[in-house]
Amino acid sequence: MTDFSYGRNAESVRSHPRLVTTRVLLPAALIVLAIAVNLALLTRITALEIDNPLLVDSTLGELAVWLAAQSEQEAPQSMLGQLARAQAVRAGAASLDTAALLTLMQRIMVGILAVSVALAAAAVVGLFANSARGRTALIGSLIVTLLPLFILPVGTGDNTLMLVMAACVLLITAYFAAPGRITRFHSFVAVLAIIFLVWEGSKAVAAALDYRVAVPATNWEYTGYPTLDDALVALEAGEIDAVIADRSAVRDLMAPFPLAAESEPESFAYPNLRYLTNINTGEAVLGIFPVTPAFPGRLAVVVTAAGGGLSDLNSLLNKRIGTPTGEFADERYLSAPREVILLDLRILNDLNLPHLQNIAEALLQPARRNGPLLLARILADAALHTWGEAVLGFGIGGLLGFLLGTLFAHFAPVERGLLPYVVASQTVPILAIAPMVVIWLGAGPQAVAVISAYLTFFPVTINTLRGLRSPHPNAIELMRSYAASRREVMWKLRFPAALPYIFTALKVSATASVVGAIIGELPSSIRSGLGRAILDFSSDYSLVSTPKLWAAILAAASIGILSFLIVGLVEYLVLRHYIRN
Amino acid sequence: MSIKAAQPVILAQNVSKIYNPNTEEQVIALENIDLQVQAGEFISLIGPSGCGKSTLLRLIANLITPTSGALRINNKDPHQARLDRDYGMVFQSATLLEWRTVQKNVELPLEIMRYPASERRARAQAALNLVELSQFYNHYPWQLSGGMQQRVAIARALVFEPSLLLMDEPFGALDEFTRERMNMELLRIWQETQTTIIFVTHSIPEAIFLSSRVVVMSPRPGRITSIVDIDLPYPRVFETREEPRYFEKLTAVRELLRDAHEV
Amino acid sequence: MADTLNTSQAAEGGLARTPRRHLNEYLPTLLIAVAVLTLWEIVVTVFDIREFILPRPTAILNEFLGEVQKVAGAGEQSILFEAARATLWSAFGGLVIGCGAGILIALATARWTIISEALMPFAIAANSVPIIAFAPIMNNWFGITNPASKMAIVAIIVFFPTMINTVRGLTLVDRQQLELMQSYAAGEFKILRALRIPNALPFIFSALRVASSLSVIGAVVSEFFGGPRATLGVYITQEASGFNFTRAWAAILLASIIGIGFYNVILLAERRLMPWYSAQRRAN
């Protein structure tokens, strides 16, 4: 800090010219590098041929193809389709030219990159001029640079996406290195960008590692025999310790181990041999780490009656093993090279975690192949439908919660009697009640609203109760000294004091009502809500439907967050005069 | 404790504290503070609200830093004095940690200074004896009255035997009778430990009764208007409050405050 | 010494409450329970309401006790209790993982307030997302029959409220207590251990109480999106779709009991670990 006896303060440091330049040099350099990367991308995209997969398979490219198809139809259902049709009609053509549309999309992509470069340049200027606008321009450039992540397809052997990610990383680092205050909105954007980069980055890393981190393991030591009987004879003679063969082949030749109650080992062809039925053929071999290839269920391990009791595949590793040559065990299992999988990264593969571009693309494509409406439109309609039910449920639940809370605050015996049940009601899984509510009220939005209200009323009740009881006893005595009636005390003192508490509960309830609406739709056979959409997309586990599932979840998340924000906004407007922290 | 007659314990020269300097919301909390405090003195800071007495105390404690001027504690930079734990502090509210027993609360500074457990126990017990609360060592703060909690806070401030004790209106929340008794207690403790005490208060009788010197301050901007020597003899007893010289000093300080306030 | 000790309150906190007082407190609750159940039984019998609209409480109790007998008698297997065990395991596992992670992350980020401030909007946003919507994705990642997929959902559900509350507890410290620690030149780590963490305990426990009931509900609801038969969520919906509502209600009863059980375990832990808090609140 400063030396007190000379009275210099922090202000004077800022105006020292040399210090300013050094602090700004690093971020400026990073931004210039980002600009260079973006320019490289720009040139690459400008140079693309119309049929290049980078263009055709991109989100915008696929959209262009769909628009062209829609413009052919007489009366397209979707808004964009109608726009395309109108455009075609105006040009006097039967449909829009796909090539022309693709060129348009190409120009849009170039435009986006150009805007990003311009904003970045403005950021550099702002940095040197020591203006706060520079940092805003930097964040703006970051936001625009993130867009290609959602547009450009990930091709094999193509490093375009890497360039985009590199540019984003440079911009984020530049932001944190630049002097100045980090505002909440900026840090929000930065964290969001980091999340997207980690998403794509970890997928890239996992793909490079082939979705697993593995080390080679020792292979089996085994001898091949011309037939199964030869192997079994060798086992009886003690030349080998175990035989691995097809289970169906050995099952009729010997008794299993452990012995089943009725089996007579003597009656089999090989009375002194057993095939193991309880060997742990689950994948884990080295402690917790699984091994590939895993032991297939069609194989069995045969040992002598005396040598039985092996419980683990590991215990076979140093034993002498035999198997009939030419068969499954020999060709596909014992001879295959083994690996111990230290870390399974399959969670990051395209099936489980689609690329951001896949999700964006799924949104801008029809939900069913060649369907009339884009997924985005269908999800928007579904979301609106669900939201309507949620709002109804929120209203009912909020009102009920407020009434209950007020009742409890004024009549203590009622509170003592009913409150434990109100609390206990929340331990009942809502999903269990849902089918019964549907039966009582009939399938439809009213049942969903009731289910949604069930999740909503509890926080409001508790907080209303707490809020109404929150005023200081002195304040209540003051009101009594004015001979105020109970109702006046309630509305003039208790209710305003309770408002902050009630709003806190309403914010929680806003999101709970959305959860309730989604859950409620499932047993109510409501076809047009998000609950149904999520269930439909989840029933098919494929590369096509998983991005749709993520898109549907995104829609659900959006209405949850939006509800929360709206209540927050109302809270701000109502309470801003009192809450000044 | 040996008294270093030459070096002042606290030396403030032209100290100022300005919040939001060079802006519209600028507030001059303290201006041109000159103060010297010798070892073993009992100094009261008194003045109306906004005169900067608490600010001055916090500057000495290095909880905030001056905007300009020189401030030395035990001939060191205040930051160094805090790192060396040269002072103990007692706040307006007892500020005991609710989850610790009385004994553990008193041991808190010793834990931070890494004293071994047995020594901590011994010192804590000695400190509790000093404030005459040893039989409550295993109680929780909420089980004690306000006055008792403040005594625990004083024990905690003295447990590591600092040479300087800073007190920010420690008895403000107590009733008159308890406060008068706490004053007697404090004087007794001061006599036994011979620490230097800086005591912030807005009660004139309390300031006169306790201190060897009273620093009168006034607000807008916060500054020292005058320093009054209280030459009443020690040890001071209950009857001291009834002596004519006590009333003279009381009137003198009251008039100084009124003048300062009217400016 | 004229200083009074709050002896009466101390005694109240120390001595056990007499059975009489216990009864007085719980009497209205019990009365209402009895009244409601009696009314329910009468209404269903008198109006001859069919089982699939509303089963009789005695029938539900019968079914429930029948299952209890199976478990106690060590002869038959009770599918209901097997299911309950699986669900309990999922709920508990998710609770431990979610709350543990929430507290750890809060400890890590509260130290550098700028990180926790940047992450807060995301935590609040994530808390606003209907987590149940993620159940199908978790099933895909871990496998439908793997309890880890249910634990993951429960963990996410409880993670955010726990983290948000812990951060609040670690940062909303009395200013004077903070100044006291600074006057001792205490290091950040010591301040964390001696001041922030004990201060945060009431906040953490209030989050844990909410989390305990959420965990059971989360486990059951996530099982609806797919799971092995021997889990409560699947059991309930299968019995409901087969119109065996008595069985479904018996299962619901069991699920509630588990939820209430978790809640009370947390309450007990709270009383043991924070003896000063409950006693202080009672004294006030």
User: How large is the ipTM?
Assistant: 0.75
Cα–Cα distance measured from residue B5 to residue B2, given in angstroms and rounded to the nearest whole number: 9
Last residue of a domain, one of B132, B161, B190: B161
Domain residue spans of chain C? 16-49, 71-283
Polymer length of chain C: 284
**Domain co-membership, B190 together with B238:** yes
Which of B59, B60, B68 should one mutate to test binding to chain A, selecting the residue with the greatest count of A CBs within 10 A? Answer: B68
**Domain co-membership, B69 together with B110:** no
Q: What does DSSP say about strands B164-168 and B196-201: parallel, antiparallel, or unpaired?
A: parallel
Measured between CB atoms, which of C3, C179, C186 is closest to B145? C3
Domain count, chain B: 2
**Domain co-membership, B140 together with B172:** no
C24 touches chain A (CB under 8 A): no
**Domain co-membership, B147 together with B240:** no
**Domain co-membership, B173 together with B52:** yes
Which of A1, A3, A4 should one mutate to test binding to chain B, selecting the residue with the greatest count of B CBs within 10 A? Answer: A4
Identify the pLDDT of residue C75: 66
Provide the token pair at C95: 């609770």
**Domain co-membership, B112 together with B230:** no
**Domain co-membership, B81 together with B37:** yes
Handedness of CA A310, A315, A320, A325 (dihedral sign): positive
Identify the pLDDT of residue A69: 85
**Domain co-membership, B133 together with B82:** no
Over the stretch B116-137, which tens digit does the pLDDT of each residue have? Answer: 999 999 999 999 998 889 999 9
| Shortest Cα distance, chain A CAs vs residue B177, angstroms | 25
Last residue of a domain, one of B116, B141, B161: B161
Over the stretch C172-210, which tens digit does the pLDDT of each residue have? Answer: 888 889 999 998 888 888 888 889 999 899 889 888 988
CATH architecture of C71-283: Orthogonal Bundle (1.10)
Provide the token pair at A251: 């099952």
Q: Which of A228, A121, A138, A246 is nearest to A182 (CA)?
A: A138
A59 touches chain C (CB under 8 A): no
Listed in sequence order, the residues at least 6 apart from B15 whose beta carbon sits closer than 8 Å to its beta carbon are B30, B32, B33, B34, B56, B59, B66, B68, B69, B70, B71
Q: What does DSSP say about strands B87-90 and B164-168: parallel, antiparallel, or unpaired?
A: parallel
Measured between CB atoms, which of C9, C198, C284 is closest to B97? C198
Identify the pLDDT of residue C3: 39
- Please report residues of A whose CB lies closer than 8 A to that of C128: 510-511, 557, 560-561, 563-564
Using the beta-carbon criterion (under 8 Å), do B63 and C183 form an inter-chain contact?
yes
Last residue of a domain, one of B161, B179, B200: B161
Over the stretch B40-81, which tens digit does the pLDDT of each residue have? Answer: 999 999 998 888 899 999 999 888 899 999 999 999 999 998
Q: Which of B185, B208, B186, B211 is nearest to B198 (CA)?
A: B211
Strands (E), A156-298: 212-217, 222-225, 242-246, 255-257, 273-276, 284-286, 289-292
Q: Which amino acid is at A104?
A: L
Contacts across the B-C interface (CB distance below 8 Å): 77
Chain C from 141 to 200: CB within 8 A of any A CB: 141
Over the stretch B18-33, which tens digit does the pLDDT of each residue have? Answer: 988 877 788 889 999 9
Identify the pLDDT of residue A447: 87
Cα–Cα distance measured from residue C245 to residue A263, given in angstroms and rounded to the nearest whole number: 44
Q: Which of B256, B24, C91 is nearest to A427 (CA)?
A: C91
Using the beta-carbon criterion (under 8 Å), do C280 and B99 form an inter-chain contact?
no
Task: Residue B82: give its domain's CATH number.
Answer: 3.40.50.300
Element housing B167 (H / E): strand B164-168
pLDDT in tens for each of the 581 residues of chain A? 322 222 333 333 344 455 556 678 888 999 999 999 999 999 988 988 888 888 888 899 888 888 888 888 888 888 888 888 888 888 888 878 888 888 889 999 999 999 999 999 999 998 888 788 888 999 999 999 999 999 998 876 678 888 999 999 999 999 988 887 778 888 889 989 999 999 999 999 998 888 888 888 888 888 999 999 999 999 889 888 889 998 888 888 888 877 776 667 788 888 888 888 766 655 555 666 777 887 887 888 888 887 666 767 777 777 888 999 988 888 888 888 888 888 888 888 888 899 999 999 999 988 877 778 889 989 999 999 999 999 999 999 999 999 999 999 988 888 888 888 888 888 777 777 777 788 788 878 888 899 899 989 988 998 898 889 888 777 787 777 777 788 888 888 888 888 888 988 898 888 889 988 888 887 777 778 888 888 888 777 788 888 998 998 888 888 888 998 899 899 888 887 665 43
Which chains have 3 or more CB–CB distances shorter than 8 Å to chain B?
A, C
Contacts across the A-B interface (CB distance below 8 Å): 17
**Domain co-membership, B150 together with B29:** no
Q: What does DSSP say about strands A255-257 and A273-276: parallel, antiparallel, or unpaired?
A: parallel
Using DSSP's 3-state secondary structure scheme, residue A265 falls into helix
Provide the token pair at A465: 């109760």
- Banded pLDDT at B153 (limits 50, 70, 90): very high
Residue B178 domain boundaries:
1-86+163-263
**Domain co-membership, B245 together with B259:** yes
| Shortest Cα distance, chain A CAs vs residue B193, angstroms | 33
Cross-strand partners of A218: none
Cross-strand partners of B160: none
Using the beta-carbon criterion (under 8 Å), do B91 and C274 form an inter-chain contact?
no
Alpha helices in chain C (DSSP H): 7-14, 19-47, 57-73, 79-111, 113-127, 135-142, 147-171, 175-183, 188-191, 197-224, 232-241, 245-273, 275-283
**Domain co-membership, B65 together with B168:** yes
B104 touches chain C (CB under 8 A): no
Measured between CB atoms, which of C2, C194, C283 is closest to B108? C194
Q: Which amino acid is at A488?
A: E
Ranges in chain C, pLDDT < 70: 1-23, 25, 52, 74-76, 278-284
Dihedral Cα C56, C59, C63, C65, nearest 10 deg = 110
| Shortest Cα distance, chain A CAs vs residue B30, angstroms | 14
Chain B from 47 to 76: CB within 8 A of any C CB: 61, 63
Identify the pLDDT of residue A319: 82
